[in-house]
Amino acid sequence: MIVDLNGRATPLPEGSTLADAVAAAGAGGDDRGVAVAVDGEVVPRPQWDGRALAEGEDVEVVRAVQGG
């Protein structure tokens, strides 16, 4: 299955969840200050494990950075 992960077409195994996508984006180890949206809608952290991904979904994984 291919999902659009942070703007890049990313292959993930069938049956992958949002938690897998967070790990694939590089935020698996330290997910403090991380938030996730699928197709523009925020998915709360407690739902990451149970949220199955579908082909072509747009996943954004963001975290805190320095800013003005």
Partner 1 sequence: MADGFELGGRTWASRLIAGTGGFRSLSDMERSLAASGTEIVTVALRRVDPLAQGSVLDVIGRLGLFALPNTAGCYTAQDAVKTARLAREAFETDWVKLEVIGDDRTLLPEAVELVGAAETLVGEGFTVLPYTNDDPILAARLEDAGCAAVMPLGSPIGSGAGIRNPYNVRLIVERAGVPVILDAGIGTASDAALAMELGCDGVLLASSVSRAKDPVAMATAMRKAVEAGYESRRAGRIPRRLHAQASTPDEGMASLD
Residues found near partner 1 in the complex (CB under 8 A): 6-7, 25-27, 30, 32-37, 40, 42, 44-45, 60-68
Least gap, CB of 57 to partner 1 (angstroms) = 16
CA distance 64 to 33: 5
Least gap, CB of 56 to partner 1 (angstroms) = 19
Least gap, CB of 15 to partner 1 (angstroms) = 22
- The nearer residue to partner 1, 14 or 61, going by C-beta atoms, is 61
